[in-house]
Amino acid sequence: MDHESIAIYLNALESGSERRRDINLIIVGKKSVGKTSLVRRLFGEELQSVKSTNGIEIHRRRCRINLSNWEWNKVLDTRLVKETSINNRILQSIVKELHQDKEKPKHDILEISSSDQISTDDNKGTITKNIEHDEEPQPKRAKMNYQFAYPEITESPLSKLAKDELLSIIGSAVDLQDEDGYANLTVWDFAGDIEYYNTHQTFLNSEAIFLVVANLHDIDDTVSYGTFNFWMDTIHCYGSINNKTEAVLLEGAHNLLDPPVIAIGTHKDKFQDEEQCRKRLESYTDKIFKDSKLHLRSIHLISNTEDVEDAFEKLRNDIFATAKSTANWNREYPVKFIQMEKAINSELTIGKQIISFERLKELGEKIPLPITDNKELHLFLRYQHEIGNVIFFEDIPSYIILDPQWLANAFTCIVTAQQFQLELPHLQWDNFKKTGKMDPKLLEEIFKKQSADMRIHKEHILEVIEKFDIIIYPLLLTESGNVQREHSFFYVPCMLQTLKIKDIDVLFNVPNASKSTCLCFVFSFLPPYLISNLIVSCLREYPLAVVKGEIGLFKDCCVFNIGRTGCAKFVLAKSSHMIQLQVWQWDEVDTEVNQAVLKVVEREINRIVNTRYKLKTVSFEKKWKCETTSFSFDTGFLEFDQVNDGEKYYCEEHATVHKYKDYWSGEKSKAPVRLSSEEQNYVRMSMIVLEVLSGVLYDRLYIDTKTGEILDRDKLDITEMCKKYCALKINFPSKGFRKIEKVDEISTNEDAIGDDIQRIRVIRNEMQHSSVFALDDTRYQTLITTVHDMLTRFDQRNNPAGESYVKRLDKIRKMELKTRSFEEIKERMKAGNLSDIFFMFEVQE
Ligand SMILES: Nc1nc2c(ncn2[C@@H]2O[C@H](COP(=O)(O)OP(=O)(O)OP(=O)(O)O)[C@@H](O)[C@H]2O)c(=O)[nH]1
Ligand SMILES: [Mg+2]
């Protein structure tokens, strides 16, 4: 093994990349509609012995990328195959590097040719390799012979690592041809039972393609439509604009949202007429929420039992075409990351299903070209999560799940659909469903039925599923008035079936005078599992309230104690599209208690929505209802700045007048009464920078890199993007990048893209470095004219998907601004943290 080959390898690791083609296909729909049967047919398998799915089944396959001859190969992704595949990818990157180096004079590549006979010779400075295969069935294989000679260099510890690595790859089976010709397909077959919806959530993500399946025969059933609608809305929670600008424009489609959905109607065999089937399925797709509809790409009508292969071939091709139209198809993947994949795969091989971020860091340090930057490791994990290789959430970094099926199995130990509960008829399910309480005896019986592997790891499984918010060991008040964490049993909120929301205050005997106004988090779409996650989160901080021996935990509703005395409690209750919070104080009312609880609850909702699940389209508004409201009343909300403390207001629910008491005053006192016109100008311009200009720059970068390079779209930062653009060494601004401070100093050469990028940078700086957070009318008008002209040019150059940039600008100019978050925004401006401001600022068109 010569040093230059090691150098090439290290270079490939540092700067090289491969094209990834990953399809993450998730199949959802009501119970028994035919999801598993559909998976079988897609894989060309028999339908016999299809059983109802318990939880989630993950099938991983590789399939050939060839539109005319596209087959879903039955290569199971066993660990051995995975290892081989990783080695192939590494070796291929070296060969690619060699090809690239061909043009460089210092590299003296002697030969790259096809030959059957390859050998290894360390002394003469050549790598040769006989590439063999142990996979079957195999198409034509490329037998590569590559030899090269370089001067000797001193061996460093790094090159020693690289040498060992290369030797180990060379000693394994590789097939360069195959890697180029395959896409990785992961199919997730989800159970239809509602009990699992809480656990399904862990496996969904914004990069998948969804098949939403409905039984055409069931179409008039309201539960059937409800489930279809539920899945479309749930998918929309992950919605983002499909930014593959060119592809979308070419097909004449606008404003499509990812993740894409293909709607499938099964049981076509029960109808004579295909047109009738189509109308039935369209009666669903026509009714769904207009934004959820933007995910829908096509519909397919099939019979799993009767249709011949053609129908499934058509569907396979459609899935493939859909995958190709997603933003991340063929994206560049750093070769270094393949190394990391190899490192985590070896952890799996030695039986570790879970590793911590700390362990990942250690692994990152040990690979031939170490990854030590946390951000880079996070990017790696995010990508791996998106393609379904690992499960990783930023808020639980100690639990990186290397085998998603293991986690799915762990979930189904505890979250069990009715049908699977029936297999253990002798157990006390009723009490479990009523109280959510899992006592040690029931737990023991359940684990007796699990596989040996699961039984051995019982404690570990419980620890993991607690981290994933499925179970909670509650805090309880002891008789002596202390707060203690319970360890002998736990609760499973998502399994509860007893609904008590209506009479919860009667149960706790709460006098009206003790109740606060009811704070409502009103969602446009409220993911149903959110309340269980939220209850678990709050039970980590507050003791569960108990009254007359009955605990305050019910389906979609929970009562917590605040402090040790029990004199103050709060309730969280879900009803239709809102989560409600009410504080009960039997003693003197202290509004600081309300504010403290609100802070925790709001923080946890934001964590679940934004950090845990990264739900891009889920947002809420905080409103309120009167003290004596019924939790099921879901209209007639009042705005926080509508009434002042002590003022009277009309209550729609009780058709009478009440006096307003300000329990949540933190809500109001923070905000200035009104924004001045200069402040409004400033806020508008900041929003234009964040919402429009950063998008322009992103699109331009995307077009000019021509690589679809991985960019963190969530954290668009103009400085970072300018740096990247600068590195492309094209379209330099007329006066260089750094010298200009004001937009007025930029050359008047309006054709130059570089000058416009410069304009974006300095306008953003002007906003960020403002010390007064105000912009006078003249300056605002000057900037608006500059931005307007520039956006007209970029509309021509970038041809953006969806709305034109100028239209987006006009929207912000006309928006009505609310004042509440202004102080908070100023703080963030001062801190230099400009991202996300737009989302914090509540705006109305
Ligand atoms: N006639 C007819 N029967 C079908 C069709 N698709 C599925 N079935 C039958 O419906 C039953 C349920 O099918 P599955 O594939 O298990 O349904 P599933 O959606 O995976 O069910 P869960 O995993 O329990 O949610 C089986 O008996 C299938 O044979 C179809 O297109 N036509
Ligand atoms: Mg199934």
Q: Tell me if 32 CB under 6 Å of ligand 1.
A: yes
Q: Say whether 815 sits in a helix, a strand or coil.
A: coil
Q: Which ligand has an atom closest to residue 419 CA? A: 1
H-run or E-run covering 605: helix 591-606
Measure the CA–CA gap between 777 and 781, rounded to whole angstroms: 6
Which residue's CA lies nearest to atom 27 of ligand 1? 50
Write down the pLDDT at residue 148. 36
Question: In a mutational test of the pocket of ligand 1, which residue from 41, 43, 47, 50 has the highest number of ligand atoms less than 8 Å from its CB?
Answer: 50
**Alpha carbon of 211 to ligand 1 centroid (Å):** 15
Atom of ligand 1 nearest to the CA of 53: 23
Atom of ligand 1 nearest to the CA of 192: 25
Q: Tell me if 31 CB under 6 Å of ligand 1.
A: yes
Token digits of residue 774: 């105000």
Residue from 405, 580, 578, 417 nearest 495 by CA: 417
**Alpha carbon of 267 to ligand 1 centroid (Å):** 8
Q: Kindly state the DSSP code that residue 646 receives in the 8-state scheme.
A: T
Q: Are strands 568-575 and 296-301 parallel, antiparallel or unpaired?
A: unpaired
Q: Tell me if 192 CB under 6 Å of ligand 1.
A: yes
Q: Tell me if 54 CB under 6 Å of ligand 1.
A: no
Q: Which of the four pLDDT bands, split at 50, 70 and 90, describes residue 140?
A: very low
Which residue's CA lies nearest to atom 21 of ligand 1? 32
**Alpha carbon of 34 to ligand 1 centroid (Å):** 3
Which residue's CA lies nearest to atom 14 of ligand 1? 34
Write down the pLDDT at residue 65. 57
Atom of ligand 1 nearest to the CA of 193: 25
- Compute CA 284 distance to the chain's CA centroid, rounded to the nearest angstrom: 26
Q: List residues bridging with 129 in a β-sheet.
A: none
- Specify the residue for token string 């790259």: 112
Write down the pLDDT at residue 578. 95
**pLDDT at residue 616 above 60?**
yes
Q: List residues bridging with 266 in a β-sheet.
A: 215
Q: Tell me if 304 CB under 6 Å of ligand 1.
A: yes
Q: Give the residue, 247 or 225, on which the prediction is more confident.
A: 225
Token digits of residue 592: 């600081």
Section 396-423 average pLDDT: 87
**pLDDT at residue 175 above 60?**
no
Provide the angle, in degrees to the nearest 10, between the axes of the packed helices 335-349 and 357-366: 120
**pLDDT at residue 122 above 70?**
no
**pLDDT at residue 506 above 70?**
yes
Write down the pLDDT at residue 56. 84
Atom of ligand 1 nearest to the CA of 37: 15
Q: Give the residue, 445 or 244, on which the prediction is more confident.
A: 445
The CA-CA-CA angle for residues 310, 312, 313, to 5°, reads 60
**Alpha carbon of 39 to ligand 1 centroid (Å):** 11
Q: Which ligand has an atom closest to residue 35 CA? A: 1
Atom of ligand 1 nearest to the CA of 307: 31
**Alpha carbon of 191 to ligand 2 centroid (Å):** 5
Q: How far apart are the first and last CA of the chain?
A: 66
**Alpha carbon of 130 to ligand 2 centroid (Å):** 44
Write down the pLDDT at residue 301. 97
Largest Cα–Cα separation, the chain: 95
Which residue's CA lies nearest to atom 6 of ligand 1? 34
pLDDT in tens, 575-609: 989 999 999 999 888 998 999 999 999 999 999 99
Which residue's CA lies nearest to atom 2 of ligand 1? 267
H-run or E-run covering 806: helix 805-814
Q: Which of the four pLDDT bands, split at 50, 70 and 90, describes residue 144?
A: very low
Token digits of residue 804: 């034109």
Please report which residue ranges of 330-436 form alpha helices under DSSP H.
Answer: 335-349, 357-366, 374-386, 404-414, 418-421, 429-435
Q: Which residues have CB atoms below 5 A from the ion given as ligand 2?
A: 35-36, 53
Question: In a mutational test of the pocket of ligand 1, which residue from 46, 187, 304 has the highest number of ligand atoms less than 8 Å from its CB?
Answer: 304
Q: Which ligand has an atom closest to residue 192 CA? A: 1
Handedness of CA 221, 223, 226, 230 (dihedral sign): negative
Least confident of 110-119, 182-191, 233-242, 497-506: 110-119
**Alpha carbon of 4 to ligand 2 centroid (Å):** 53
Measure the CA–CA gap between 806 and 458, rounded to whole angstroms: 58
**Alpha carbon of 37 to ligand 2 centroid (Å):** 7
Q: Tell me if 215 CB under 6 Å of ligand 1.
A: no
Write down the pLDDT at residue 68. 53
Q: Which domains are seen in the chain, by residue range?
A: 3-17+79-181 (no CATH), 21-77+182-324 (3.40.50.300), 475-669 (3.30.310.200), 677-844 (no CATH)
Q: Which of the four pLDDT bands, split at 50, 70 and 90, describes residue 764?
A: confident
**pLDDT at residue 469 above 60?**
yes
**Alpha carbon of 27 to ligand 2 centroid (Å):** 9
